[in-house]
Amino acid sequence: MTNRDERIQHYLDHMCVQVKAREVHNDLREELGNHMEEIILDKEQEGYTEEEAIAYAIEQMGDPAVVGKSMHRLHRHRMHWGLLTGLSSLLIISLLLTWIYTTNISVETFQFLYKSHLIYTIFGLVLMVFLIYFDYRKWKKAAWWIYILLSGMLWINPLVSPVDYGVQRFWSIFGLTIDLTTISMWVLPLAIGAIMLDKLRTKCDVQSISTYILLVALPSFSLLQASDWVRLFPFGTATIILFAWITRKWLYTFVGAAIAGLVTMMQLFLSGEYRRFERLTAVFNPQNDPLGHGSYNQSIMSILHSAGWWGNGFDTSFDHFKGFYMDYPGVMLIDVFGWLAGIVLLLGIVWFLASMLKMLPRVLDEFGRMIVFSITMMFVLQMLYSLAMTTGKVPIVSVTFPFIGFGSHLILEYAMMGLLLGVYRRKDTISLRSQPRQPIRTLSK
């Protein structure tokens, strides 16, 4: 190693000490080292000796500790404290509503439900923290294996999963119950996006589009076989929007999706299975079937009407519908705390979703952007429909309210939030070679 190389490396060593994100050290060394070489060569051409040129380059770059601290500020791990604050608020609301519900039911149910809710929440938070610090880019290499595993499980699902209210969702493995269709709804769009992102971005031809459609169609057919339309619709909608976002062909995508959606809706509501058409029409005239499909809609609207601005308080009496309050936490919140609490929840959810969408332009890594977009879209679909169900003006289906509703879905939702926050955490530490080149600013004395 020449004297020039030794002095440049010595400078870069002192600079990198200040940068805590080790994954950017090699890139910073290459970027700043090349810049110093250019300065040295320019000065040597002007007649400087090598020692004078090296001294001038180091002087122009500035104190290595100062440069290192500035690079650390630019390329450090970030935490989205706004989203964490919103998530903490939802966690508090969730625990509060569960406590109110279980207190009004019975002591035995209180012990069972509240402990289960705490266990789901704790497991979810642990998994979220793990995924925040886990390098999300490793998931891209496992995308095919994840897709094959989940698709295979969905394919054999009708053979091993018990029928629960006409739907085959759950697997029981070693005493642990797995909500397979919900997991597939969240994870498969991420796997499909990881598999097809580079192919569709570089060459959006018939072969690539056909491959994407096939990857979506296989699990869609399995969800159809499981009769889980509630998970099929978000999965199909998310993959359609994801395709449009990757290819930037929004118009063609939505024209094709509208045609496919119309055919699917006709099959869904005109087949007569599970009387879905009656359940849809009951929304518009719930009083025509007060003891049937429109009963829940009518109960919700009656509760909203009686709640007023300040609610009915903690001593609300539990009827048949309120016995299922953990499936409708938004309605329970308004019943207990009033319309004002419902408005605050609505504004908080809108802000929460908007904060996730605002992350997109801040993430430069394309795979990371795809993860943020896919997860955000799924939260948008679930949260907005859950809020719509709170009004009693839409069909009541088994869409769970993320982070607030009771169930094992909490674990998956916290995991997805951890994956999203993990992308944000590394947004400024991803390899500089994969980002647009920017000029290096030197610190002159």
- Note whether 409 and 306 are same-domain residues: yes
Structure tokens at 221: 């057919």
- Note whether 99 and 156 are same-domain residues: no
- Note whether 315 and 396 are same-domain residues: yes
- Note whether 120 and 166 are same-domain residues: no
For residue 263, tell me if it sits in a domain. no
For 97, 101, 107, 235, the CA distances from 327, given in Å and listed in that order, are 11, 11, 20, 21
Print the domain residue range for 101. 81-133+294-427
For residue 268, tell me if it sits in a domain. no
Final residue belonging to a domain, choices 76, 99, 115? 76
- Note whether 160 and 49 are same-domain residues: no
- Note whether 68 and 97 are same-domain residues: no
| Non-local CB neighbours of 256 within 8 Å, separated by 6+ positions | none
- Note whether 68 and 49 are same-domain residues: yes
Check if the beta carbon of residue 301 is closer than 8 Å to that of residue 284: no
Classify residue 269 as exposed, middle or buried by CB count within 10 Å of its CB (0-12, 13-18, 19+). middle
Domains held by the chain: number: 3
pTM: 0.84
Check if the beta carbon of residue 279 is closer than 8 Å to that of residue 395: yes
Length of the chain: 445
Per-residue pLDDT of the chain (445 residues; tens, 9 = 90+): 567 778 888 888 888 888 887 778 888 888 888 888 888 888 888 888 888 888 888 888 888 888 888 888 787 888 999 999 999 999 999 999 988 888 776 555 555 788 888 999 999 999 999 999 998 988 898 999 999 999 999 988 877 776 665 577 777 776 667 888 899 999 999 999 999 999 998 888 889 999 999 999 999 988 888 878 888 889 988 999 999 999 888 887 888 777 777 766 666 655 555 555 555 566 666 665 555 556 788 888 888 888 889 888 876 666 667 777 888 899 999 998 999 999 999 999 999 999 999 999 999 889 999 999 999 999 999 999 999 999 888 888 888 899 998 888 899 999 999 999 999 998 888 764 554 444 444 444 3
For residue 350, tell me if it sits in a domain. yes
